[in-house]
Structure 1
């Protein structure tokens, strides 16, 4: 109970921080490394040109330029809000709104720069308590640190961007389904070979509900066009996840779920719902609950202490990122069986009595085998 109260106190204090405005600073490119991030958003635009938490039924398309500071180290995500320091912090260096044809043209051009993966895009869907600028920074950090394939796209749905905005964000996640569906159809029309989906936290709810919605209107589209799914710390009810998965005629492969039993946010999410810890998909304790589903569960609990965020271990643990980087395992995930790719590291396979779900326990390299 003491930990529960402490976490609520931290959430209350963080809710006081003003995260509503992040300036566009082109001069940041004088010191930083540029990363192009495309965005589809259902956030309403503010008078200052930024995109806030109000909802918009219109999908707006953007090209963002993020400057990665020269001091950046893998796993770090340092940024400010109103007064960024480009030498030390991720900075928004450009923002241009595009019409549909121009957006598609720019995505094609960006794909053409990616040797060997010219016809892929990775779509990152953020979770609860996220602003649009933070989402762009996270996508740029992941693209830089773990070499996500193809052109980088974010779906920026109208999160409140506040720790105490959980209920608002849950409603926004459901509101956001149509916008993500429109974005996926638009990206497919650019001629991409496959679309990779990466969803964090409550973004997993947005993604799974959208895939279920698409399957109902266009049976078979998901299996034919989604080339892989990665869920990071999904804040999603396990029974709901099972229903969503069973609605799909063909489940995209590979389908990877990163989990941790030390995820403080998901443990709180479970308790707020009157359930015990380990009852969200991202902190699942009993793999048998999804044993009949064709998914690969990767347990990153061993890296919780090393990570800057226990709710985003895969992207904030320098040790885990270094392991992936050694053999490009995260990229291999999109082409190979994830368990086989990680097997060359320190993975311990636990197949149990099923042939569908495979759990991979990722251990630090200095852990006893």
Structure 2
């Protein structure tokens, strides 16, 4: 269709030789296809893939042409779709075949982004972030690096990405990871920042290191001879989601204590105990059982501590915001068994909902 401009087309005809209709002529004058094409902004297009391991750490790669680390990916070639480019780049850079049809984020990167050499004449870029899924140890072992360009891979704690990556790349990776946890579709970003931030974005979840709890999972109550280091609750709302606390100052996610709200049907779910290592890796730093109670929420009192936001999230989302090691799958299975025992539905993954500071009743 011919395009409007401030310059009149000669002899009152449009570029295809036909006369504009009366309404179109009244709205403005006409631009030739050549002029319209020249007027459009030119942008680069790129595609990267966000991959995590079973502990929720993000795959980043070292390259021989810059000091910071990158997600796998690169430029979209002429005539190539972004998803095809993502698959090609992962195959070329890591030697792993795959398809990545699910988009996590689309980011607009401005032309004046700092740190890009002027000689590149960078016009700005639209960068697609695809979901590479969770890679098992066997899939990670299948990685084969090329003879040049990629010199190594590393799985990084999400909170460490800003120290490892360019600032914009880290913002984009964290926004894409939160979009994956939200499960609400592709996030639109501008310079790595969501145009419509969710609760996870607003609270800066995953900007600090997750507390490691890698002890073995044991069902049932804590034996009398074991000291209890801490006690947390899987507290279920009527829709099957659970209460989650987020520290506003740090973005750290925590299950609440079982006394955080009035409940019904409480019972000991299980406990973690085993390796005796704290989040800093020191032996003996984490001696004691981490007890878990399951219960059905009957309401919420007014927020007692303004330092914490209260969210409802699915059990899977709680696990993805936690560092529970290999035993995490066993705890999650116990949580769903508890939900069934409490006659509650399986929740649908939606973005975690921030609850008001006022009281809530069900």
- TM-score band, normalised by shorter chain: under 0.3
Pick the structure with more strand per residue. Answer: 2
Structure-2-length-normalised TM-score: 0.27
Structure-1-length-normalised TM-score: 0.27
